[in-house]
A and B are shown apart, each in its own frame.
Chain A
Amino acid sequence: QVQLMESGGGLVKPGGSLRLSCAASGFTFSDYYMNWIRQTPGKGLEWVSYISSRGNTIFYADSVKGRFTISRDNAKKSLYLQMNSLRVDDTAVYYCAREFRGSSSDWGQGILVTVSS
């Protein structure tokens, strides 16, 4: 069955960096667009970034543009999110999600990123 597993979260100071990873299994990873989505109690669910199946088309939400970088390694069946210049309001649970007809049929379990001094 489809499995997505995030890792790399944790506590970081404002201005710091983290790299999230998402390991995929149970499907042909290289065939699917992927997304990162985050969730906070205050702002709810927020789309963060998108990457096409071959990695040649990438988009970001305005809130993270210039600070976050999405990438993928199809040989390793892995998705990444490099987060730099982190701010307190980047604190959230981050999910990787497999795109399906304008939505997502499969999400990881989520990983908590806390930005605090």
Chain B
Amino acid sequence: DIQMTQSPSTLSASVGDRVTITCRASQSITNWLAWYQQKPGKAPKLLIYKASSLQSGVPSRFSGSGSGTEFTLTISSLQPDDFATYYCQHYNSYWWTFGQGTKVEIK
């Protein structure tokens, strides 16, 4: 089974900071990777699909990159609404595997 490992687990940042979260796969997954944002008590919200495609309606400060085994989610200028937990997710035909999450906290 492919394992997805996110880093860091927690990130402290300030409004306006550039933030980068990394997701590493235990083997190559080409570009079948998505990123979600989740706030307490809410369902995950899709930000990025197929590694770098911005989901409709998501602000352009969010971007995704990478292929193979290493992927990144970047928030170019952190906004107050962005403090949340972020998850990566790999798609393998029908099987989904999630990373363990990265909590972005206020510094």
Contact B97 A100 (CB under 8 A): no
Interface residues as binary, A20-48 with B (CB distance below 8 Å gives 1, 0 otherwise):
00000000000000010100000011110
Query: Which residues of the partner chain B approach A102 to less than 8 Å between Cβ atoms?
Result: 32, 34, 49-50, 91
Binding site of B, secondary structure by majority: helix, strand, loop or mixed? strand
Contact A95 B43 (CB under 8 A): yes
Contact B44 A44 (CB under 8 A): no
Contact A104 B94 (CB under 8 A): no
Chain B, interface residues (CB within 8 Å), range: 20 to 34
Smallest beta-carbon distance B38→chain A, Å: 9
Query: Which residues of the partner chain B approach A103 to less than 8 Å between Cβ atoms?
Result: 34, 36, 46, 49, 89, 91
Interface residues as binary, B38-52 with A (CB distance below 8 Å gives 1, 0 otherwise):
000011111001100
Taking A100-B49, A101-B49 as given, write out 20 further A-B residue pairs in contact, using a Cβ cutoff of 8 Å, ordered by the A residue number: A45-B44, A45-B89, A45-B98, A45-B101, A46-B98, A47-B97, A47-B98, A50-B95, A57-B94, A59-B94, A59-B95, A102-B49, A102-B91, A103-B36, A103-B46, A105-B46, A105-B49, A105-B55, A107-B45, A109-B43
Q: List 4 tightest A-B contacts by C-beta distance, closest first.
A: A102-B91, A103-B34, A107-B43, A47-B96
A binding-site residues for B, Cβ under 8 Å: 35, 37, 44-47, 50, 57, 59, 61, 95, 100-105, 107-110
30 pairs across A/B with beta carbons < 8 Å?
A35-B96, A44-B87, A44-B98, A45-B44, A45-B87, A45-B89, A45-B98, A47-B97, A47-B98, A50-B94, A50-B95, A57-B94, A59-B94, A59-B95, A100-B49, A101-B53, A102-B32, A102-B49, A102-B91, A103-B34, A103-B46, A104-B34, A104-B44, A104-B46, A105-B49, A107-B45, A108-B43, A109-B42, A109-B43, A110-B43
